[in-house]
Chain A
Amino acid sequence: MGDNFVPTAADMTRFLPELILTVIGTLIMVLEPLTREENKSRLGVIALAGLVAAMWGSAVAAADPGTAFNQMLIVDGFGTFFRFLCIGVGILTVLASFAYLNREHANSGEYYALILYSIAGQCVMVTANELIMLFIGLEISSIASYVLAGYLRDDKRNNESALKYFLLGSFATAFLLYGIAWIYGGTGTTNLTEIHRVLTNRDIAPLAGIVGTSAALMFVGFAFKVAAAPFQIWAPDVYQGAPAPVAAFLSAGPKAAAFAIFLRVYLTAFDTIADRWQPIVVVSALATMIVGNFAALQQSNIKRLLAYSSIAHAGYVMCAIAAHSQIGTQAVMFYMVSYAFMNVGAFAAVTHFARQGERYVNTEDLAGLGVRQPATAALLTVFLLSLIGVPLTGGFFGKFYVFKAALDANLVWLTILGLLNSAVAAYYYLRIIVVMYFKEPGDSTANLQPPAMGIQAVLWGSAAATLVLGIFPSWVLDYAGRSANLVK
């Protein structure tokens, strides 16, 4: 850690995706006032190009793995995996947003810039090797998300969503920061590998009370960001109120990044006290699954239903974290990919049939979709079946590996209760399918236009990815397996 004021070329290469995203985001903001109202969609095309370039940047960075900027960042397989995932979610979100923003007459460059910045923050998070870096990345991602949730300023539901998200989110971040302060006070460092080194060395390790308090405080922050019980209360209101494409983004991108930092911090820094945090994660996983699934049973608003379903899915992922093993990490990585595709796909379908002002967001409004728009209904069915976990879909193998990891770790009861939970979940997903195919077509689907091109692309792309993951899971799983051992 010499006095090198100028970053090396390797530093810059490993930071390439974030650089690209930031530069393109700023470029969009510069072009925004120069673009005429009817051409604002072109800014979205630039955003798409930026995201594709950032994917390329991640690949370039991954070719030369290692730490950057005095060990602030670590580019490894794990970080790269989540970088690709977050950027991919960004591409799907931007594609689904074109039609939505045109429909609401709210097309502007700030929207795309905020999405790019948010993803830059997530990329920083998932490659952070230092608690300070992790915290700044989380804040960048979160603050951009708060604004996106309230993007349609004149819509009361948007206001409610943004305000709740902001207030509760800031509160949870304060817990995370307090946890960071505790571990710094105990070990004298915020570097994750250094913390691990201090904690494994009996002579200089601080007493367990300090480490435990720090881990518990940070757990509050992480559990909030992934919407795990008992810190899940914000999710239904936020997802229901936010614009539909933004809800898709929130439920996939920031959540994946939050799981990544959860794993990285708990499996590197707090690895030595695993037997202490494991029971807490088990209880939280169980509570999250039960709260999510049973609350979802009673929902009639489909966005709210998907929000509770996303809470339940966070519970399944927590089961794999509780396993505390390489296979568990691998299962989390695979689950987050398949979950991202099926959930963004489902939200894209909601974006499509909600129409202007999001008037049609009840499950009953889907009546007759199977007759009026067979293709859209079939694609939505694929996503719902995958969310249930039916074989030949990505959701099946996601659940399979998660519960396999939990079983391998001797968490038998958690696995059994988790499986029972997914049976409960089948009811509310199937109910949507029943409404689509077996209800008499009503007024709500009478004048439904065919889906716009961007939404078509998201629907077909996500459905294809969901099926590919369900038929050839090893394509992603092998990569995840190779990267998972770098964490532990």
Chain B
Amino acid sequence: MDAILFLIFAAIAVGCAINLVVQTHPISSALSLIGVMLALAVLYLLLGAEFLAAAQIIVYAGAIMVLFVFVIMLLNAGAEQRVNRAQFAKFLGVPALIGFLGVVSFLIQTLMPNTKDVVFGAFRNGTAEAVGRKLFTEYLLPFEVTSLLILIAILGAVVLARKEI
């Protein structure tokens, strides 16, 4: 059952990801991205990471995607126009991608040692309580320092968007 669910949602994620790249209209790409995020959330849930699944939907599929769509609408971006596509990308892009994915899947398939650890639902520390406890004890400093990162992002937006210098 787990394996079937995994395969279905993994297929949805990959299909949406390919669609995201292939589509020429930004809105279609953005909607495909939402599909990828939702499918990923289900995969997290299958592994037992419930907090991450919820955060994935609320933060990524929700808040961040709304921003994406807003920006696309504000910029009034139309379908992508293709000019002077590089010959290099045309002929080498797809083979290089297939080669890279082949190497990565080969490595994961044959070299990953502890496959018995990767079992659906075997991960027990994915609850909001467990994540919160980790964040406020072991990972306290990264958690706090991230606020500085966000502050800089806001400051940067203000600097780049103000009217006069």
Contact = CB atoms under 8 A, between A and B. Distances in A.
B79 to A, nearest CB: 22
A68 B145 CA distance: 14
Interface string B91-112: 0000000000000100100011
Nearest to A7: B140
Interface in B149-165: 149, 151-153, 155-156, 158-160, 162, 165
Interface string A136-161: 11011001101100111110000000
Contacts of B111: 206-207, 209-210
Contact of A153 (B133, B137, B146, B165): B165
A484 interface: no
Contacts of B129: none
Determine the interface band of chain B, counting residues with CB < 8 A from chain A: 20 to 34
B107 A70 contact: no
Interface in A34-71: 68-70
A364 interface: no
B107 A213 contact: yes
A114 B156 contact: yes
A72 B142 contact: yes
Contacts of B165: 104-106, 108, 152-154
A341 interface: no
Contact of A72 (B113, B141, B155): B141
Nearest to B139: A132
Interface in A454-479: none
A114 B155 contact: yes
A117 interface: yes
A375 interface: no
- A3, A29, A136 — most chain B CB neighbours (10 Å): A136
B136 interface: yes
A322 to B, nearest CB: 25
B152 A133 contact: no
A140 B148 contact: yes
Determine the interface band of chain A, counting residues with CB < 8 A from chain B: 35 or more
A113 interface: yes
A70 B138 contact: yes
A1 interface: yes
A344 interface: no
A4 B139 CA distance: 11
B140 A70 contact: yes
B163 to A, nearest CB: 10
B112 A153 contact: no
Interface in A1-50: 1-5, 7, 15, 18, 22, 26, 29
A285 interface: no
Main SS at interface, chain B: helix
Given A147-B159, A206-B113, A207-B113, A4 B152 contact: no
B51 to A, nearest CB: 17
A67 to B, nearest CB: 11
B142 A144 contact: no
A110 B155 contact: yes
A433 interface: no
Contacts of A206: 111-113
B153 A117 contact: no
A139 B145 CA distance: 11
Contacts of A108: 165
B140 A140 contact: no
Contacts of A286: none
Given A72-B141, A140-B145, A207-B111, A110 B159 contact: yes
Contacts of B140: 5, 7, 69-70
Given A143-B149, A206-B113, A113 B155 contact: yes
A110 B152 CA distance: 10
A121 B111 CA distance: 36
Nearest to B118: A185
A85 interface: no
Nearest to A146: B156
A133 B142 contact: yes
Interface in B105-140: 107, 111-113, 133, 136-140
A73 interface: yes
A123 to B, nearest CB: 11
A246 B85 CA distance: 34
Contact of B160 (A15, A22, A130, A150): A150
B164 to A, nearest CB: 9
A120 B145 CA distance: 10
Nearest to A26: B151
Contact of A136 (B107, B142, B159): B142
Nearest to B117: A188
Contact of A5 (B137, B153, B162): B137
A247 B102 CA distance: 41
A108 B112 CA distance: 53
Nearest to B141: A69
A124 interface: yes
Top-6 shortest CB links A-B: A147-B156, A69-B141, A207-B111, A72-B141, A106-B165, A209-B111
12 contacts: A1-B138, A3-B133, A5-B137, A5-B140, A72-B139, A117-B152, A136-B145, A143-B153, A147-B152, A147-B160, A210-B112, A213-B107
Given A140-B148, A143-B156, A213-B104, 18 more contacts: A1-B138, A15-B141, A70-B139, A72-B139, A72-B141, A72-B142, A108-B165, A114-B152, A114-B156, A117-B155, A120-B148, A133-B141, A133-B145, A152-B165, A206-B111, A207-B111, A209-B107, A210-B111
Interface of A: 1-5, 7, 15, 18, 22, 26, 29, 68-70, 72-73, 104-106, 108, 110, 113-114, 117, 120-121, 124, 130, 132-133, 136-137, 139-140, 143-144, 146-147, 150-154, 162, 185, 206-207, 209-210, 213
